[in-house]
Structure 1
Amino acid sequence: MTVKTVERQDVVDFLYTEAKILDEWRLKEWAALFTDDGTYIVPPIGNPEAEPTTSLYYIHDNRTRLQDRAERLLKKEAHVEYPHSTTTRNYHNILVGDLDADVITVECNFTTHRTKREVVDTFIGKLKYELVIENDRLAIKHKKVVLNLDSLRPQGKISLIL
């Protein structure tokens, strides 16, 4: 069996592809980027290291729940996102570590602009990934979104995938 060597540019391209998939609302395809034991979390603002057993996370999904979230957001019954927001995601200051390890760590800053009903909301923060090679491709084992906001105002909620 040949193991593909992962280069930094492969990781950067993977992140940019994820952003494009999310901006195009291809959410089922986004969920498929995760491993079967993958997780997607958004801890409380101001407490990124909070324990999920004692703190209320905005999102704390395992693979099944994130698949359900993706499918639910695509339905017309998801009134908060129907019609879908228009989003533009930017990932910057991408730092890739442990390219030779079983788990590749990635940190980057992000800006997500969302336009909905003539209102533009901006989410900013840091993304932290653990990536693995699965079936000869990169896959997300863990994605953590740390919001660098004082509050969710004026948007008041997270109704899209960051």
Structure 2
Amino acid sequence: MTVTRQNVVDFLYHEANLLDEWKLLEWAELFTDDASYTVPPIYEPDADATRSLFYIHDDRDRIQKRAERLLKKEAHVEYPHSTTIRNYHNVLVQDLDQDTIKVLCNFTTYRTKREVLDSFIGKQQFEIVSQDGKLRIKKKKVILHLDSLRPQGKISLIL
């Protein structure tokens, strides 16, 4: 499969749309079996997960479990679900001719819940591979560019 820059950008927009529509099981299927999804501490984007507390540090199994858990009514922090709008900007696609495509983009995620609007901003780093004729996420790293997490100091949705 010959992958173009537009294929990669469309894939990222598809990923964002699945999250905004709360199609979390379909979102989890975008990941490879050896995938990771991480959100390192604010101000420490290159932190070592064995020495620092990450907001999120999921392997493929935990990605699946996170998606399943957030869809349950028992997940009170996200039931009813937040309304979100995700935007990916300044998408830089590298290594299209390699086995692993690297992508860096800025992102903005707006979330509204119980009359409160939160904004999450930062950068996302992806490693994307082609498997069985489809693009898949091998690595997703979300680097928050915030002073702090407001108001509760946690992340209850998938960024």
Aligned length: 159
SS of 2:38 mapped into structure 1 = strand
Q: Are 1:10 and 2:7 counterparts? A: yes
What is the distance in 2 between the residues matched to 1:8 and 1:81? 34
1:42 is matched with which residue? 39
Q: Deviations over 1:119-141 (max 9, x none)?
A: 00000000000000011000000
**Partner secondary structure for residue 20 of structure 1:** helix
1:112 aligns with: 109
Q: Give yes or no for contact 2:118–2:150 (8 Å, CA) kept in 1.
A: no
State the partner residue of 1:137: 134
1:93 and 1:155 map into 2 onto residues whose CA distance is 30
Task: Please report the TM-score for the alignment, with normalisation by the length of structure 1.
Answer: 0.97
Shift in Å, 1:155? 4.7
1:78 and 2:75 aligned: yes
TM-score where L is the length of structure 2: 0.99
Q: CA RMSD of the aligned region, Å?
A: 0.6
Distance 1:153 1:33 in 2: 29
Q: Output the CA distance in 2 between the equivalents of 1:73 and 1:153.
A: 20
Shift of 1:156: 2.3
1:53 is aligned with what amino acid? Answer: T
Paired residue for 2:58, among 61, 69, 78?
Answer: 61
**C-alpha separation in 2, matches of 1:72 and 1:42:** 18
Is the 1:121–1:155 Cα contact (8 Å) retained in structure 2? no
| Deviations 1:14-64, CA, capped at 9 Å, x for gaps | 000000000000000000000000100000000000000000000000000
Structure 2 spans left out of the alignment, 5+ residues:
none
**Following the alignment from structure 1 to structure 2, what is the Cα–Cα distance between the partners of residues 157 and 87?**
16
Residues 24-35 of structure 1 correspond to what in structure 2 (within 5 A)? 24-35=21-32
Q: Which runs of 5+ in 1 are unaligned?
A: none
2:43 aligned counterpart, secondary structure: coil
